[in-house]
Amino acid sequence: MGTYAVTGRASGMGRAVADQLRAAGHTVIGVDLDDADVQADLSVPRARREAAAAVLSAAGERLDGAVLAAGLGPVRGRERAIAQVNYFGVVDLLREWRPALAAAGNAKVVVFSSNSTTTTPGVPRRFVRALLAEDADRALRGVRLFGKAAAPIVYGGSKLALSRWVRRNAVLPEWSGAGIRLNALAPGAVLTPLLEDQLASPAAKAVASFPVPIGGYGDPSRLADWAVFMLSDAADFLCGSVIFVDGGSDAYFRADAW
Ligand code: NAD
């Protein structure tokens, strides 16, 4: 049985992952704003450092895997927090946890990306570049012109930067060479509190009209099945992949993108 860190443990897909891992007999160290072993606001750099250290201490400096599911949806007015949680709330923790993941010898990491990476039109390249350069202020300055429409751009852009970070790092000796498999899961519209909030917001009409070819919304526990699979030995040969599980939305928009 292994020891796993799971962020976003209190709700939605993170909660479903943590529950499945615990039910299988693993030790889970959950991180979230509330209702978690380590309570932290991942939008704040110092809180991220403290949360990362608290997890390492609880895990005895050895992690068999990590699932980074904490995230904020495209909520108008929360652009800074979206960038901080969705990008830095993943990469800052993973950098701190890398030695503990390496200590396990065969660790697996699943980062929650999103199909918004490929289905959000108009994300400026400079936004993604600035996040990858770790400059949140520059990134946010670059999307001011979107005004009240900036939140979906920041959401899609933060997940795009995150996916690129995963792919760039997954193949480096520090990660793959240390036996750590770093991959991303890109869900589509999954019925969790994040999506429910969007469906109750002023953007509801646009959110509800987003095409999901198979119809309906994803089930959080089915997405958790994918994350748990990506933590298993089946993922030994999976490295730097972004797995879309989205009812066909990405294929609908980009059938010929390959
Ligand atoms: P959710 O809202 O049910 O859960 C997200 C969790 O993140 C919550 O428990 C919340 O408290 C936590 N969180 C938010 N801000 C935080 C902060 N500042 N510090 C610490 N924790 C914080 O959402 P979900 O749908 O289960 O989302 C899980 C992941 O999947 C997210 O990264 C989300 O962006 C991504 N995603 C969701 C969908 C969807 O349709 N639901 C689609 C694509 C990607």
From first to last of the 258 residues of the chain, give the pLDDT tens digit: 999 999 999 999 999 999 999 999 999 999 999 999 999 999 999 999 999 999 999 999 999 999 999 999 999 999 999 999 999 999 999 999 999 999 999 999 999 999 999 999 999 999 999 999 999 999 999 999 999 899 999 999 999 999 999 999 999 999 999 999 999 999 999 999 999 999 999 999 999 999 999 999 999 999 999 999 999 999 999 999 999 999 999 999 999 988
Ligand 1 centroid, distance to 60 Cα (angstroms): 27
> Where do the structural domains in the chain lie, given as residue ranges?
3-115+161-248
CA distances from 84 to 27, 57, 107, 181, 237 (A): 27, 24, 25, 24, 31
Distance (Å, rounded) from C-alpha 95 to C-alpha 20? 25
CATH number of this structure's domain 3-115+161-248, picked from the four choices 3.90.1640.30, 3.40.1390.10, 3.40.50.720, 3.40.50.1100: 3.40.50.720
Spatial contact of 74 and 198, defined as CB atoms under 8 Å apart:
yes
Instruction: Report the C-alpha gap between 55 and 49 in whole angstroms.
Output: 10
Helix (H, G, I), strand (E, B) or coil at 227: helix
Interval between CA 122 and ligand 1 midpoint (Å): 23
Residues in the ligand 1 pocket, defined by CB under 6 Å: 8, 10-14, 32-33, 40-43, 69-72, 85, 112, 114, 187, 189-190, 192-195
ipTM for the complex shown: 0.99
The rounded distance, in Å, linking the Cα atoms of 25 and 12 is 20
Minimum CA distance residue for ligand 1 atom 36: 114
Q: Where are the alpha helices (DSSP H) in the chain?
A: 12-23, 45-59, 79-83, 89-104, 116-119, 125-132, 136-141, 150-170, 193-199, 204-208, 220-230, 249-254
The enclosing H or E element of 24 equals: none
Measure Cα distances from 67 to 16, 29, 185, 253 in Å: 11, 10, 10, 28
Q: How far is CA 23 from CA 26, 185, 228, in A?
A: 7, 21, 12
The closest residue, in CA terms, to atom 32 on ligand 1 is 71
- DSSP reduced 3-state for 181: strand
pLDDT at 258: 80
Task: Determine whether 190 is exposed, middle or buried from the number of CB atoms within 10 Å of its CB (0-12, 13-18, 19+).
Answer: buried
Q: How far is the CA of 13 from the centre of ligand 1 (A)?
A: 7
Which of 6, 7, 9, 13 to probe ligand 1 with, by most ligand atoms within 8 A of CB?
13
Q: Does the predicted TM-score (pTM) go above 0.95?
A: yes
Q: Which of 35, 90, 185, 194 to mutate to test the pocket of ligand 1 (most atoms within 8 A of CB)?
A: 194
> Which residues are known catalytic residues?
155
What pLDDT is attached to residue 158?
98
pLDDT for the residue 231: 98
Q: Rg (Cα) of the chain, in Å, rounded?
A: 17
Of ligand 1's listed atoms, the one at least distance from the Cα of 113 is: 44
Q: Which atom of ligand 1 is nearest the CA belonging to 34?
A: 11
Give the distance, in angstroms, between the CA of residue 128 and the centroid of all CA atoms in the same chain: 15
Any idea what DSSP says for residue 218? B
